[in-house]
Amino acid sequence: MLDIQLKTCYNMHMMNERIKLLAEQATTYIDPIANDGVCWAFDKEKFAQLIVAECAEVILKTFVVHNEIDAMHRIRDNVKQHFGVTE
């Protein structure tokens, strides 16, 4: 078990700071007594949704010439729709 925790810590250290923040947003504290000693719950679906939403924002913030703006909006919307992200 400790080996898994060490690998997790190492992997978190190697991640981009933005991804770390998104992972933290997808993690919640839970009562360890009611959950067999587990103190944290990681919501994989929320994490994936946060990443997709962030990617959609990066697409919109990408510099484009004026006549490409509509295409960027369609690409963003298609990415979000493909992954079922509504935010």
pLDDT value for 39: 81
Structure confidence by residue, pLDDT tens digits, 22-35: 999 999 888 777 76
Cα distances from 43 to residues 1, 20, 63, 64, in angstroms, run 20, 14, 33, 34
The pairs formed by 24-30 with CB atoms below 8 angstroms and a separation of 24 or more are: 25/50, 26/50
Distance, CA of 56 to CA of 85 (rounded, Å): 10
pTM (two decimals):
0.61
Structure confidence by residue, pLDDT tens digits, 43-58: 999 999 999 988 888 8
